[in-house]
Amino acid sequence: MIQLDSGLREKIGDETGVGRCLESIRAMIDDNGALDYLRLVAMLSEFDKKARDWMLSCAPEILSAIKDKPNRSLAIRQILDMGRAKWCVAVSALKKFDDVSKTSSGFKIEWLTHGCEIAKIDQDAAEEYFKASPAVLEQLGGSKFDLWARLGKEVADKSWKAAKEYFKSSPEAIGKIEPGDIEQWVRLGIYIIEKSPRVKASYNAQSMLAQGAGAGKAKKLDLGIQYFQSAPQILGRLSIHDLQEWVLQGLEVTDEQKEKGNAFFSLQTRGSRKAVDGLVKGLELNDVHTILRPYAEALIGEKVPIKSSSLFYKNLPGLARFFCVTDGVSVFLPSQITVFDDEELNFQVYKLALTHELAHIMFGTFELDLKDIGRLAGFCDPALAFKIFEFLEDERVDYLMGMEYPGLARDRRKLIENYMDRWDGKSQELSIFEALNFNIDADSKGRGASDRRLMSLLKKALEEVVKPGKTAADVLAYTCTLSKEYETGGHAGSDNERHFLDRPFFRGVIDLELVTSAKEGMARLVEDAVNSLKDKFPEISAGLVERAIERIDEASGIEPEEILWRIEEKDAKSDLMESICLTIEEMESEKNIRRTVHYDEWNHSIDDYNKAWCRVREMDMPPTSRAVYDKTIKENYGVVSQLRRHFGLLRPDRIQRFFREERGDDIDYSAAIESVIERYAGITPSDRVYIRREKNLRDVSVAFLADMSYSTSDELASGK
């Protein structure tokens, strides 16, 4: 029987809740662990009543995340040992028990141990660790996660602020690099922290209090903060070797002018961005999406949102750049293409990949549903059956797109010829589907009997699927027939491994589940928004909400953190509804706005430009009535008189010409010709054959400029 002293009961302050809590966890944890749990509740009750109530009412749910009974007691003891000063970290850790238990690695006591060790260094860094750790644990697994956590502790030993940014940026950053490169990425950050210079304070401490606080003393630049903040933007673009080169360039810039270091590593300067661009290999979607969008619109006849495919493959670090897919509305392309060394050829790959995904939309691939595709699950190797369907359907839509636009077919053949130059003499390394698409000899002796049999069946099917009038349903039927024949012939396996990348380099995946989810998710989002906002906007319609969502989606860029219809978390969903509301209000207020342009602005302190720092909005001014004009003139009569006087003093700078004059500076040739004709006709000619010029026209342009920059609030020496 667990005995509680009166002091502990008094601290908790909820006798009934304590009794229920003890009863609910009696079988889940030993007596010492239960006492530690209540001591933890008592500690939190001093700071956070909600956390106390949550721990009392949800104790079984909290502890059930840990499957091993001894580890439950150990985990609670570790959290309790952090002490009162770290109470907020304790709450963060407890709230992540369930999330960690749901990862593929499950709950590991080492996860908590790492967090407690980081909390000894800094509690803010520890909180960020616990927030980020479930996502990172799912991405990396056990051993790599331990390395990530240990590296974070090393960063925290050097700079707790940099450690905060390291943990905060890790879920996104790790999704863009290979797991084996994580240590090098972090080591570069530690190197930057160690090399960060000291800068003199720009002022002296005048009071003893300020001096005691260290004011006016030299400070050390913490460049590691900006480095880890910028990691998600950089890691998807640069290899680790190139990242090291960029870091060295940044440190050189910092040595030349210390104030520019922070701006360089935070990618705020044009020089920093150019340095990254100069190190990038291949071609990036960010550089060509503005060209691809109108290209796609011209092909399909409507706007096609283009996004990075990294949104769908965050759990495949470093591989997101190789995938293309469409949800039936948007097209998701690789963030970077490095198929060729030549930039123009890589651009052609982007165009080919885009037109291939558009072909699926244009020619009815998504008229099939998941139930139709479910027919393939009955085969011995359903994955192979689906890949056969995918290949045959790819061939069908590419053939139809080539018939619709013959120039695209020619471009594809030329691109494949360039691609095949690197495979000269190594055609056996190509996959089955590549060999067929590239018209490589299907009967090559280097392939096994199983592969040769499959290639023979595929060649026959290819002749059928490109016949006029064939649909995706026909392709599915051919796939079922082919797969059955292949398995019946005793060739259920392949001599070579069919990995994910064995499709031709410009083709993506067919994801009917994504198409279905996108359609249903968007319909649900629009309906929720209409219901949520109808009180504020009585005339709201589904079309208006769709336009607002389209604007939000467009503003999020090509690499948003999440697809809008995928957002389910309560707070995130609430934020999205608020964004839709604000966007609708903005759309109403901007009916007269033509466009918005962002400009870089010069920053004298860093001797470089701040990226997209100014926003200029071009708009049509709404019309006003005559009454407004009369009222303005009346109220500002003195200003009007002053303006008239100033304009009256301006020298005319435009010349007015008078034709058919008796005297002038030049001959009026039209009048002179008429005079000659009249003379030959026997008529008395006119003597008005000159042009006279007078400077009596003023040409005055007036521009109104509203300067909204912070500098307008500064007072000049003149007092203005």
pLDDT at 719: 60
Average pLDDT over residues 224-233: 89
pLDDT at 342: 87
Residue type, 360: H
Tell me which of 272 and 321 has the higher pLDDT.
Answer: 272
**Whether residue 440 is found in the same domain as residue 558:** no
**Whether residue 340 is found in the same domain as residue 464:** yes
Residue 64 domain flag = no
The percentage of the chain sitting over the pLDDT mark of 90, rounded to a whole number, equals 30
Residues 553-595: tens digit of each pLDDT: 888 888 887 888 888 888 888 999 999 999 898 887 766 666 7
Structural domain total, the chain: 3
Average pLDDT over residues 2-8: 56
Residue 406 domain flag = yes
- Which is it for the CA torsion 477, 481, 486, 490, positive or negative? positive
Residue 176 domain flag = no
Residue 334 domain flag = yes
**Residue 320 clears pLDDT 50, i.e. is over it:** no
**Residue 184 clears pLDDT 80, i.e. is over it:** yes
**Whether residue 528 is found in the same domain as residue 472:** no
Residue 499: pLDDT band by 50, 70, 90 thresholds? very low
**Whether residue 643 is found in the same domain as residue 585:** no
d(CA 106, CA 100): 6
Question: Out of 168-182, 351-365, 608-622, which region has the weakest mean confidence (pLDDT)?
Answer: 608-622
pLDDT at 666: 86
pLDDT at 496: 45
Residue 28 domain flag = no
Q: Which domain holds residue 632?
A: 626-697
Mind giving me the DSSP string for 288-349? HHHHHHHHHHHHHSS---EEEGGGT-TTSTTTGGG--EE-SSSEEE-SEE-SSSSHHHHHHH
d(CA 61, CA 71): 15
Q: Are 103 and 134 in contact (CB under 8 A)?
A: yes
pLDDT at 396: 95
Residue type, 223: L
Average pLDDT over residues 464-481: 94
- Which is it for the CA torsion 27, 28, 32, 38, positive or negative? negative
Residues 63-94: tens digit of each pLDDT: 888 888 888 989 999 998 888 788 889 999 99
pLDDT at 283: 87
**Whether residue 447 is found in the same domain as residue 413:** yes
**Residue 619 clears pLDDT 60, i.e. is over it:** yes
pLDDT at 471: 95
**Whether residue 365 is found in the same domain as residue 490:** yes
Residue 239: pLDDT band by 50, 70, 90 thresholds? confident
**Whether residue 503 is found in the same domain as residue 518:** no
Residues 21-50: tens digit of each pLDDT: 888 888 888 888 888 888 888 888 888 888
pLDDT at 515: 93
DSSP conformational letter for 621: P
Residue 99 domain flag = no
DSSP conformational letter for 411: H
Average pLDDT over residues 317-346: 80
Q: What is the pTM of this model?
A: 0.65
Residue 500: pLDDT band by 50, 70, 90 thresholds? very low
Residue 205 domain flag = no
Residue 319: pLDDT band by 50, 70, 90 thresholds? very low
Average pLDDT over residues 316-330: 70
Highest mean pLDDT among 3-7, 246-250, 560-564, 710-714: 246-250
**Residue 315 clears pLDDT 50, i.e. is over it:** no
d(CA 392, CA 506): 15
Strands, E, within 217-269: which ranges? 219-220
Q: What's the whole-number average pLDDT of the chain? A: 83
**Residue 358 clears pLDDT 90, i.e. is over it:** yes
Residue 376: pLDDT band by 50, 70, 90 thresholds? very high
DSSP H or E stretch at residue 692: strand 690-697
Q: Are 461 and 393 in contact (CB under 8 A)?
A: no
Residue 95 domain flag = no
pLDDT at 256: 83
**Whether residue 500 is found in the same domain as residue 530:** no
**631: number of CA atoms within 13 Å, CB side?**
5
**Whether residue 394 is found in the same domain as residue 303:** yes
Average pLDDT over residues 365-387: 91
pLDDT at 147: 93
**Residue 318 clears pLDDT 50, i.e. is over it:** no
Which of 568, 589, 610 represents a domain boundary (last residue)?
589
H runs (alpha helix) in 182-239: 182-195, 208-212, 223-235
Residue 646: pLDDT band by 50, 70, 90 thresholds? confident
Tell me which of 457 and 318 has the higher pLDDT.
Answer: 457
Residue 638: pLDDT band by 50, 70, 90 thresholds? confident
**Whether residue 449 is found in the same domain as residue 534:** no
Which neighbouring-strand residues pair with 686? Answer: none
**Whether residue 308 is found in the same domain as residue 401:** yes
Tell me which of 216 and 339 has the higher pLDDT.
Answer: 339
**Residue 301 clears pLDDT 80, i.e. is over it:** yes
CA-based nearest residue to 319, from 411, 181, 187: 181
**Whether residue 395 is found in the same domain as residue 474:** yes
Q: Cα torsion for 606, 611, 613, 619, to the nearest 10°?
A: 150
Average pLDDT over residues 216-221: 64
Highest mean pLDDT among 49-58, 356-365, 588-597, 657-666: 356-365
Question: What is the radius of gyration, based on Cα positions, of the chain?
Answer: 36
Average pLDDT over residues 387-391: 93
Residue 201: pLDDT band by 50, 70, 90 thresholds? low
